[in-house]
Amino acid sequence: MRQWIRWFAALGAALFLAACGDSDDVALPSGTLAQEASARGFGALVAAADKAGLADALASASSDLTVFAPTDAAFDTLAARLGFADANALVNALDGATLAKILQYHVLPGRKSAADLTAGGPDQATLYEFNGAPAKLALSTTSGVRLRDAVLNEATVTTADVAASNGVIHAIDGVLVPPGVLTIVQMAQANPIFSTLVQAVVAANLAGTLGGAGPFTVFAPTDAAFGSTLAELSLTATQLLASPDLAGILSYHAVAGAVRAADVVALPKPAAVTTVQGASFTVDAALNLVDGRSRTATLVATDIEASNGVIHVIDNVLLPPAGN
């Protein structure tokens, strides 16, 4: 009889533990978010959180957070794009307030497992506030869990549901860039689709200007746009970067002030837009940009918010009128 009692007791304990495990998609928690991040090798994240003054929040028992944790390799990648030697150099160079904004953009309120994220819809509100409201991450679950940031980069969740006593961690393979923190030049550096544009801005000695106070609006051609334009003009990238016309071409893509998509839509069409270069391009009724040589560019993405202005992505390089 005693043997049967012991057997039923063991069975009951096993069923109880199984029920607890099934009650959430996240395994039973161990240490705090800070402890789990340290133990699992998120060194750059921990260093950034410490400098930003956010370490206490990650260690607090009262926190209830979801953290998208970039790997050290992800921090190294962003550092290289921004011109730093590695993640340590990046963290050392940025001030605490800037790091805090970047990290808050990686944190959602509440504990959200991968299943919760999938059920939560395509936009996830973060702890980072921009223009008086929580900045959102675009989320896709068509092939794993992927996040799109303010500069149109995507990061993939590589390890989901790392449980902590005060939240949950999802490891990601990219650092998410928030709106309104980096300059126009840095935002372009952060996304590889603008690599030719960045090279051109540096070659034309415009990086200091476009990285300055502004505000500016930049209509930014992608690498594909530069490729098609170079083919059209029978030029190589090296020839373009060495051209005495380069500064004029680039400044023809810039407008003084922060002109957002809604401002462009509101203009009576066709509308002439005066550029920093001095000449104008035209916005037609279909919101195409018609340059000084009657060539057309289409808006691919709009309202990429930088700290000193706004970027609109276009699919062609704009050329000023001949002789300008």
Q: Is residue 178 part of a domain?
A: no
Q: What is the reported pLDDT for 263?
A: 93
Q: Is residue 323 part of a domain?
A: no
* pTM of the complete model: 0.87
Mean pLDDT of the chain: 90
Give the range of the structural domain holding residue 272, as residue numbers without chain letter. 184-314
CA distance 294 to 281: 9
Q: Which of 172, 200, 231 is the last residue of a domain?
A: 172
Q: What is the reported pLDDT for 324?
A: 66
Residues 97 and 154 in one domain: yes
- Determine which of 106-110, 116-120, 124-128, 239-243 has the lowest per-residue pLDDT on average: 116-120
Residues 223 and 266 in one domain: yes
* 278-304 per-position pLDDT tens digit: 999 999 999 999 999 999 999 999 999
The total of structural domains in the chain comes to 2
Residues 92 and 193 in one domain: no
Q: State the CATH number of the domain containing residue 125.
A: 2.30.180.10
Residues 142 and 276 in one domain: no
Residues 142 and 201 in one domain: no
Q: Is residue 9 part of a domain?
A: no
Residues 136 and 23 in one domain: yes
Q: Is residue 39 part of a domain?
A: yes
Mean pLDDT of 101-106: 98
Residues 24 and 168 in one domain: yes
Residues 114 and 262 in one domain: no
Residues 92 and 220 in one domain: no
Q: What is the DSSP string of 213-273?
A: S--EEEEEE-HHHHHHHHHHHT--HHHHHH-TTHHHHHHTTEEES---HHHHHHS-SSEEE
CA distance 37 to 169: 8
Residues 139 and 276 in one domain: no
Q: Is the peptide bond before 270 cis (omega within 30 degrees of 0)?
A: yes
DSSP, res 175: P
Per the CB < 8 A criterion, the answer to whether 192 and 81 are in contact is yes
Mean pLDDT of 70-92: 97
Q: Is residue 264 part of a domain?
A: yes
Q: What is the reported pLDDT for 311?
A: 98
* 119-128 per-position pLDDT tens digit: 888 999 999 9
Q: Is residue 4 part of a domain?
A: no
If phi > 0 it is left, if psi is from -120 to 50 it is alpha, else beta; for residue 157 that is beta
Q: Which of 172, 194, 211 is the last residue of a domain?
A: 172
Q: Which of 172, 192, 215 is the last residue of a domain?
A: 172
Mean pLDDT of 230-238: 94
Mean pLDDT of 41-64: 95
Q: Is residue 179 part of a domain?
A: no
Residues 66 and 144 in one domain: yes
* 15-30 per-position pLDDT tens digit: 333 333 343 454 555 6
Q: What percent of the chain has pLDDT over 70?
A: 90
Q: Is residue 321 part of a domain?
A: no
Residues 25 and 60 in one domain: yes
Single out the residue of 178, 192, 128 nearest to residue 149, CA to CA: 178
